[in-house]
Structure 1
Amino acid sequence: MASDTSNALNAIGTLIGYIGTEVATDDFFDRLLWPRRAYNGFSFRHAVRMALLMPMGGPLHKAALSTLDGFYKHGLYERGQLGHMLGTAFYRDTKLEYRVHSGGLGPEKEFVRSGLWVKAVMRTPFPRPRKYSEDEEGGLKIKPPVVRQKVCVGHLKLFAIPTGERYKTVATIFDDAGRPTLRTYLALFTTEISAIVISILVATVWKSPFASLWLLPLALKLISTVSAVDREQVLVPSRQAQRPSSLPTVHGNDDKLYEIRNPAGGFAVVEGPDDVVLQFFRHHGHPKRCKIREIIQIGMVVAFTLVFPIGLVCSTLWMNDSLQKIWVGYQLYTTLAMYVYRYAGGRLWATTEEQIGKAFLKAERTNGGEEMLIMLKGPGNTGIGAKLVRTCHGRYGEAKACVEDLIVRQKSTSPGSLSTSSTMCADAPNVETSKR
């Protein structure tokens, strides 16, 4: 007959399963299915918070079922190459639209889809604005107007670096569409350090085979990572590389403006040639269909729906009181960790988007963004160069007017061409940041 302690622990474990599954987010499985992007920016600075707040040994069945429902709606359970992955955990969709502006032509609307650069620009941390601005005539300090809503306008320039020329770069970002690297596997082990420690403790102190329960999430992550689908990598056009600062004011019809409006994340205006920019709105990072790999990865999502129930059954039927306390305590810990992860911006930790955003912020702080580039490394010694200039606004209407003014001035520079001037909006001051 079960003891009172055992009955109480069983009840607590069931309650944790009910509460914990509500807090788990779908991006746990985005990370599982695209581990290279999820951990592309991993460094030792991420290690502590990832080790403490990103274990996947808790109740995840609701998030897993939501992910599996997405596969079903998109037809991925059909045979062969049927169904499509856009909008699933394999390849998320921003659901944002972009408008193309080119000389003499009206705007055309299309969808951003995954949009690596757009997500990075819109998630770049807000800079710290000056508390006061100086009057140009009298030199007096003027308090800025009341801010209704902070909105950032980012003007991003993309260009090809096909020849391997050396640039003064703030950071080099490795393409996240390749196979998982050593960094990826280090990140995976880091997220499950807490489970590894407890597993060793249970195996050495209690000599119990139940120690393997704590290692199940890590095993599933490793299998999924090894079986990860291949993806469309960045393509670098073979034209001659040119520095943005040295580009002529008029350079043909190659460069266009791509305007993205997102009231929640500000505005992004991407400038560059079609063959450089549009790959990030279309196929970059898209999975290459391979049914065997897809089945294995979908199977890992299914397996995560069973991790908590299996642990609960083992705890209820076969574990002694001491092991039950450890198992229930760990489930409580992982549930609290998921709450912190969910509301502390954990979905960006160590991702490529976070890495790019921090690099842009570093460029602003060190040299105002005037010199240096971020480089997304392509095959061989090639890459895509990026330069970001931002302005901050205190109202959505001001930001919108800034974007419209930028587009009008760029299009009016010359019929059928766009200027590469880094000037943003006529009436908007450049972003000011405080150096640490």
Structure 2
Amino acid sequence: MATVAARFSVSVFAALGTVVGYLGTEVSSHSMFERLLWPSRFYNTTNVGSLIAISCIMTMGGPVHRTAVQALETLTLSGLWKGKFQGDMLGTIFYRDTGRRYVVRNPDGTQSEERQVRNDFWIGVMRLITYHARLDEGSRDNSMRDDEESLDRLQPKIRDYQQVLILKLSRSTTSVIDGDSPVNYSDSGPLTARHVAGVATSESISCFFGLVTGTVFRSGFTLWYIFPLVFKLIALAGHVRRTPIKRPAKKGKEGEPPAPVEQILCEVVDTSQGFFLIEGPTELVLQFFHRYGYPIRGRRGLRGDRAREVISMCTVIAYAFLYPLGLVAFVFAPIGPQIVWLIYQIVAVTAMHFYHYGGGDHIGTTEESVACDLSERQRVQLVDRTGERIVAELESVMVSSAAEGRAVTEDRVKKILESHAL
């Protein structure tokens, strides 16, 4: 009788585990592995709310094997397994390719051909900036505010609220921190306590269920719950170095007055989230569109960049086996640990749904932190590990239709280009 009950328990466990695994693989996100390989960007926060969200929805002990295999296939097709300095990381989990494009607006009224955005840091920041939807009071007749009939006539003309965002980038001329401007540390520098805290916090759920299994059942299967955090810490220790903000090249001879700084105005082609303009020194703006944050691959040796790449890719392989091997291993576990493991997997899959559909890929990131500061104060400083200080200033205009947004954008483009000509 006991044998029949045991077989029935194993069959039910295997069936439920398979169903949970199927549901989880359908919703697991590639950005979870981007987080794994770029901790300084994706765990760059000290905000309590963000840390709570990280602890609730970012465990990777669930069924992420399908996404891991897809990520490994991308790494293989990109040639990264071939050897040192082989392959291209753009378009992989090392360095995503968003597919976004931009154009350069020229002073003569023309614009360049569409160019590829390799790094969309500031575009990501601008997409995260949110405001309360409201009409610009200065553009409406004040006599219509309290006139219900007039508002009813106006309402059909409002298709959707959008924003025209103008971001001005510049280099700070002083090493003194401006008290009126929040400071954010860039994501291309060395790891700090905030990054380690974010990674450790992300596996709070797995550690909790491991503690339950260990204290209640005193089972050796407790060790399985340690693996998700161990793999993350290994990836953290082997993280690749990233290209920092480059300093401007010195022009002209010593003693001569500095040459005027060439300015550029770029417009993001995609207007689904609003109309985005980015202006500033050419050498500064373009590096954020190009290779800022791209993995550095020059250092050799056991602690060199190639070793870091291999360690990072091996952690992805480990996650590809974590759930399948866990399902097989817990078949031989007592019924108590089996139930705890299934409950954990259900919680993990639920968390993955919240992550996928609740904007989890932005929680705790550098972009989110900068976007929050810009939304509140319209000015922020970004400090790089090289000591470079970038000042970002934001201007925003709320519009009620795409046509109005285009008109406002063209008006701002004209004014900005005129100021560059002075």
State TM-score, norm by structure 2: 0.88
The alpha-carbon deviation at position 384 of structure 1 amounts to: 0.3
Structure 2 unpaired stretches of 5+:
251-258, 298-304
- Listed one character per residue, the Cα deviations across residues 188-239 of structure 1 (whole Å, up to 9, x for unaligned) are 1111111112212222332222111011110000000110000111234489
- Contact 2:133-2:161 at 8 Å conserved across structures: no
Structure 1 unpaired stretches of 5+:
240-250, 364-368, 420-436
Paired residues for 1:57-96 under 5 Å: 57-96=61-100
Question: Distance between the aligned counterparts of 1:3 and 1:353, measured in 2?
Answer: 51
Structure 2 CA distance for partners of 1:134 and 1:288, relative to 1, 3 Å: closer
2:299 counterpart of 1:284: no
**Alignment counterpart, residue 327 of structure 1, candidates 334, 341, 350:** 341
Identity across the alignment (%): 29
Structure 2 CA distance for partners of 1:283 and 1:131, relative to 1, 3 Å: closer
2:126 counterpart of 1:121: yes
Paired residues for 1:174-253 under 5 Å: 174-237=185-248
Q: Please name the residue that 1:427 is paired with.
A: none
Q: Please name the residue that 2:255 is paired with.
A: none
Structure 2 CA distance for partners of 1:30 and 1:94, relative to 1, 3 Å: same
Name which of structure 1's ranges 306-315 and 123-132 shifts more when overlaid on structure 2: 123-132
Q: What number of residue pairs does the alignment pair up?
A: 396
Structure 2 CA distance for partners of 1:178 and 1:137, relative to 1, 3 Å: closer
Structure 2 CA distance for partners of 1:74 and 1:401, relative to 1, 3 Å: farther
Question: Distance between the aligned counterparts of 1:122 and 1:49, measured in 2?
Answer: 20
Name which of structure 1's ranges 129-138 and 397-406 shifts more when overlaid on structure 2: 129-138
- Contact 1:230-1:287 at 8 Å conserved across structures: yes
The alpha-carbon deviation at position 256 of structure 1 amounts to: 1.5
The alpha-carbon deviation at position 401 of structure 1 amounts to: 2.5
Q: Please name the residue that 2:301 is paired with.
A: none
Question: Distance between the aligned counterparts of 1:349 and 1:326, measured in 2?
Answer: 28
State TM-score, norm by structure 1: 0.85
- Listed one character per residue, the Cα deviations across residues 140-160 of structure 1 (whole Å, up to 9, x for unaligned) are 546354432332211000000
Counterpart residue identity of residue 230, structure 1: R
The alpha-carbon deviation at position 104 of structure 1 amounts to: 3.8
2:271 counterpart of 1:263: yes
Structure 2 CA distance for partners of 1:107 and 1:315, relative to 1, 3 Å: same
- Contact 2:97-2:119 at 8 Å conserved across structures: yes
Counterpart residue identity of residue 277, structure 1: V
Q: Please name the residue that 1:393 is paired with.
A: 399
The alpha-carbon deviation at position 266 of structure 1 amounts to: 1.6
2:293 counterpart of 1:302: no
Question: Distance between the aligned counterparts of 1:347 and 1:396, measured in 2?
Answer: 27
Structure 2 CA distance for partners of 1:73 and 1:395, relative to 1, 3 Å: farther
The alpha-carbon deviation at position 386 of structure 1 amounts to: 0.4
Paired residues for 1:163-174 under 5 Å: 163-174=174-185
Q: Please name the residue that 2:373 is paired with.
A: 359
The two structures, once aligned, show a CA RMSD in angstroms of: 2.3
Paired residues for 1:361-380 under 5 Å: 361-363=375-377, 369=378, 373-379=379-385
Question: Distance between the aligned counterparts of 1:52 and 1:137, measured in 2?
Answer: 47
Question: Distance between the aligned counterparts of 1:379 and 1:339, measured in 2?
Answer: 35
Structure 2 CA distance for partners of 1:8 and 1:194, relative to 1, 3 Å: same
Question: Distance between the aligned counterparts of 1:137 and 1:49, measured in 2?
Answer: 43
Give runs of ≥4 in structure 1 deviating > 6 Å: 131-134
Structure 2 CA distance for partners of 1:236 and 1:171, relative to 1, 3 Å: farther
